[in-house]
């Protein structure tokens, strides 16, 4: 498949007279895909039942006539104001029991049956009208599920649906009471109808209750998406996508991805830097105009897994955004680097958000490819350069990386429910591991916690899987790859109780977590030979041989027969030592990368990216700031 570019366009924001001219300029810029429609419900249906498709017909026609391909978004992330009059209780309710209000977007509760019906209706009409339109070459369901903290809702509708979900899962209330350990604090229920949502309790609710609510909330997103996917598929052969967001983890993206052909995500490297990446203030300063060198790549690899190989960047930051604490302009060249980085990780398409900067409303200060006066914004030149470069470049090559890293949404919820140390987040543990692998110059596949995903790797890293499905655990124990588990692996059963025999109970590895502690951030525990454990440390009992120990001689990493168990959260230096050890055992070639230089290999190409503000020479290549080197293999 040829690599392509695109943009996000809002014909409803602009006078119709300029659509043709816009389309001609998009073609001239080398763009292929134009995503439209995802927020346009009030323009399609200004009052209930009064449907105005004419403008959308013309917009699609104008874009198609120019030779562009349309990605048509379903408008369900922005129900119009009249919808609230019709369904006053459709808003999501926050943890304090307050309903969200109209006036921005994503103001709906996934569990509201009336709103779901409205979505069926609008998506059905859209699919019937445009399903066979040759200019509609892909679909996007909704927009950024879960963004603005919208997965979890404590509404009445959610409570009713949660009870049904529990009934289906546990069948009898006694089974649920036993599984959750509700005898503790006399929390036993007599019927499913007594179970409330786990907010507004006096002190913390039962972790089993909260975990079940996370799983339920995730399933509600999956169902909501599947309703749309089934309707679209009945009328159209064009592929279906959703645009996920960075570091949104409160629903299982793999499950949503199972119902779509393409995964896509919205990449805002500078927007994410301050409050999503989790980097230190020094790191944020050093990468203020470039973005974190690993955070985007991590999501590229994650969404490649969610899309089972087919993935896009649906929204690429083209200049300053409006929504981060500070919004600097990117270093010249970064828009090109971000685009190429996505292609290096296997993206089929990169679409810039947005075509023209909006003069009105919430995103006035968000750059586009054009300024509000329609002159080219600085990103335009870089997008055009990428368009010229991809025209000459080979097709997207799918390629299995030598190393896999498991990312599990269920583990993320479990760590959130019971972090044990303030600020201990599973996502950060996985990202720390990913960073260490990238510092060693490795290309990585992120994979789901599914046993069928494990084949063909030399090494598999699976940090922090607090609950391990028995099939996955057995598959990892039996894998030919060098497997690294821990900390906290298999530490809870599926209902959040500590199992016996005590964790991690790994076949062939004599190690038991006998005690554990969490550590203040200023109390790391140093290791013999360099590096330290931070935040979380387990005491390991058993005869398995240790290859990392504390200065007091306590084992931190033990291994036998290709399986390593790690009893702590390693800092960067210790993590590098671990990667070196595993690479030697697994016969992986590693290259220590200079600060901010990252490498990615496919079967046919090697890429080097310079995320720093200085020129760096690496392996004989001169890499200027924002430099990209592409080598045919």
Residues that bind ligand GAL (CB under 6 A): 143-144, 147, 245, 266, 268, 315, 321, 353, 363, 366
| Least distance from ligand GAL to the Cβ atom of residue 260, Å | 17
Between residues 244 and 254, which has the closer beta carbon with respect to ligand GAL?
Answer: 244
Of 61, 66, 78, 34, residue with least CA distance to 130: 61
Between residues 111 and 143, which has the closer beta carbon with respect to ligand GAL?
Answer: 143
144-154 CB burial, b ≥16 within 10 A, e <16: bbbbeebbbbb
Please list, in sequence order, all residues whose beta carbon lies within 8 angstroms of the beta carbon of residue 45, skipping any fewer than 6 positions away: 51, 52, 80, 122
Catalytic choice (144, 341, 382, 538) = 144
Please list, in sequence order, all residues whose beta carbon lies within 8 angstroms of the beta carbon of residue 373, skipping any fewer than 6 positions away: none
| Least distance from ligand GAL to the Cβ atom of residue 73, Å | 10
Task: State how far the alpha carbon of 372 is from the alpha carbons of 55, 194, 336, in Å.
Answer: 22, 55, 22
Between residues 319 and 449, which has the closer beta carbon with respect to ligand GAL?
Answer: 319
Helix extents (H) in 66-131 = 81-86, 113-130
Catalytic choice (45, 315, 412, 554) = 315
Between residues 357 and 443, which has the closer beta carbon with respect to ligand GAL?
Answer: 357
Please answer whether residues 100 and 92 qualify as being in contact, where contact means their C-beta atoms are separated by less than 8 angstroms. yes
Please give the structure tokens belonging to residue 240.
């279906």
Give CA–CA dist 38/60, Å, rounded. Answer: 13
Ramachandran assignment for 535, one of left (phi > 0), alpha (psi -120 to 50 degrees), beta (any other): left
Please answer whether residues 290 and 269 qualify as being in contact, where contact means their C-beta atoms are separated by less than 8 angstroms. yes
Between residues 249 and 610, which has the closer beta carbon with respect to ligand GAL?
Answer: 249
Element (H, E) at 38: none
| Least distance from ligand GAL to the Cβ atom of residue 354, Å | 7
Between residues 102 and 184, which has the closer beta carbon with respect to ligand GAL?
Answer: 102
Please give the structure tokens belonging to residue 429.
């543990």
Please answer whether residues 438 and 461 qualify as being in contact, where contact means their C-beta atoms are separated by less than 8 angstroms. no
Between residues 250 and 266, which has the closer beta carbon with respect to ligand GAL?
Answer: 266
| Least distance from ligand GAL to the Cβ atom of residue 241, Å | 13
| Least distance from ligand GAL to the Cβ atom of residue 22, Å | 18
Give CA–CA dist 244/302, Å, rounded. Answer: 11
Between residues 106 and 577, which has the closer beta carbon with respect to ligand GAL?
Answer: 106
Query: 3-state class of 385 per DSSP?
Result: helix
Q: Which residue has the tokens 């009105």?
A: 360
Helix then strand then coil, % of the chain, to nearest 5: 35, 20, 45
| Least distance from ligand GAL to the Cβ atom of residue 77, Å | 8
| Least distance from ligand GAL to the Cβ atom of residue 268, Å | 6
Residue 607, Cβ neighbours under 10 Å: how many? 20
Active site (annotated) includes residue 188 = no
| Least distance from ligand GAL to the Cβ atom of residue 380, Å | 17
Longest dimension (CA), the chain: 77
Please answer whether residues 134 and 238 qualify as being in contact, where contact means their C-beta atoms are separated by less than 8 angstroms. no
Between residues 266 and 571, which has the closer beta carbon with respect to ligand GAL?
Answer: 266
| Least distance from ligand GAL to the Cβ atom of residue 158, Å | 24
Query: How does DSSP assign 207-225, residue by residue?
Result: HHHHHHHHHHHHHHHHHHH
Please give the structure tokens belonging to residue 377.
């914004």
Active site (annotated) includes residue 315 = yes
Query: How does DSSP assign 491-545, residue by residue?
Result: -S-TTS---SSPTB--TT---EEEEEEE--TT--EEBTTS-EEEEEEEEEESSPE
Q: Which residues are catalytic?
A: 144, 315
């Amino acid at each position: 498949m040829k690599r392509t570019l695109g943009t996000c366009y809002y014909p409803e924001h602009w006078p119709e007279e300029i659509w043709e001219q816009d389309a001609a300029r998009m073609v001239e810029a080398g763009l292929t895909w134009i995503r439209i429609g995802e927020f346009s419900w009030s323009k399609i249906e200004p009052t209930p039942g009064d449907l105005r498709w004419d403008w959308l017909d013309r917009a699609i026609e104008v874009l198609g006539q120019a030779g562009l391909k349309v990605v048509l978004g379903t408008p369900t992330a922005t129900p119009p104001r009249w919808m609230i009059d019709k369904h006053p209780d459709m808003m999501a309710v926050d943890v304090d029991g307050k309903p969200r209000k109209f006036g921005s977007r994503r103001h709906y509760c996934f569990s509201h049956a009336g709103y779901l019906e409205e979505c069926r209706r609008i998506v059905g009409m859209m699919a019937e009208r445009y399903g066979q339109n040759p200019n509609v070459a892909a679909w996007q369901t909704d927009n950024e599920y879960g963004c603005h903290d919208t997965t979890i809702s404590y509404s009445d509708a959610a409570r009713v649906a949660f009870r049904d979900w529990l009934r289906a899962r546990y069948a009898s209330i006694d089974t649920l009471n036993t599984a959750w350990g509700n005898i503790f604090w006399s929390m036993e229920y007599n019927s499913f109808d007594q179970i409330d949502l786990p907010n507004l309790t006096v002190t913390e609710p039962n972790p089993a209750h909260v975990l079940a609510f996370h799983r339920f909330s995730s399933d509600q997103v999956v169902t909501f998406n599947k309703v749309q996917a089934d309707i679209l598929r009945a009328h159209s052969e064009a592929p279906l996508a959703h645009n996920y967001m960075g570091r949104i983890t409160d629903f299982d993206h793999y499950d949503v991805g199972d119902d779509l052909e393409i995964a896509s995500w919205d990449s805002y490297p500078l927007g994410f830097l301050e409050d999503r990446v989790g980097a230190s203030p020094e790191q944020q300063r050093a990468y203020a105009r470039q973005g974190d060198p690993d955070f985007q790549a991590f999501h590229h690899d994650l969404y490649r897994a969610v899309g089972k190989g087919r993935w896009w960047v649906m929204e690429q930051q083209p200049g300053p955004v409006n929504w981060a604490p500070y919004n600097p302009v990117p270093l010249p060249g970064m828009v090109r680097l971000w685009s190429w980085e996505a292609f290096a990780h296997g993206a089929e398409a990169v679409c810039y958000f947005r075509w023209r900067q909006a003069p009105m409303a919430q995103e006035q200060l968000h750059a586009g490819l054009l300024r509000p006066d329609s002159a080219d914004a600085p990103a335009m030149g870089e997008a055009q350069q990428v368009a010229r470069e991809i025209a000459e470049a080979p097709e997207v090559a799918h390629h299995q990386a030598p190393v896999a890293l498991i990312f599990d949404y269920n583990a993320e919820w479990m760590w959130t429910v019971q972090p044990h140390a303030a600020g201990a987040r599973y996502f950060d543990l996985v990202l720390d591991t990913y960073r260490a692998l990238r510092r060693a110059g490795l290309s990585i596949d992120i994979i789901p916690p599914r046993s069928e995903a494990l084949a063909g790797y030399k090494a598999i890293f699976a940090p922090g899987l607090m609950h391990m499905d028995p099939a996955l655990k057995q598959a990892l124990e039996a894998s030919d790859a060098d497997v690294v588990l821990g900390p906290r692996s298999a530490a809870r059963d599926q209902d959040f109780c500590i199992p016996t025999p005590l964790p991690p109970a790994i076949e062939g590895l004599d190690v038991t977590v006998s005690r554990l502690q969490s550590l203040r951030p200023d109390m790391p525990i140093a290791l013999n030979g360099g590096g330290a454990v931070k935040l979380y440390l387990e005491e390991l009992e058993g005869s398995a041989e240790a290859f990392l120990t504390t200065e007091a001689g306590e084992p931190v990493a033990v291994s036998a027969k290709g399986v390593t168990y790690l009893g702590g959260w390693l800092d960067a230096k210790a993590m590098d030592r671990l990667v070196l050890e595993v690479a030697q055992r697994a016969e992986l070639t590693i290259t220590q990368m200079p600060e901010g230089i990252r490498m990615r290999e496919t079967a046919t190409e090697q890429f080097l990216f310079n995320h720093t503000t200085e020129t760096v020479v690496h392996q004989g290549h001169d890499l200027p700031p924002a430099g990209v080197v592409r080598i045919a293999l």
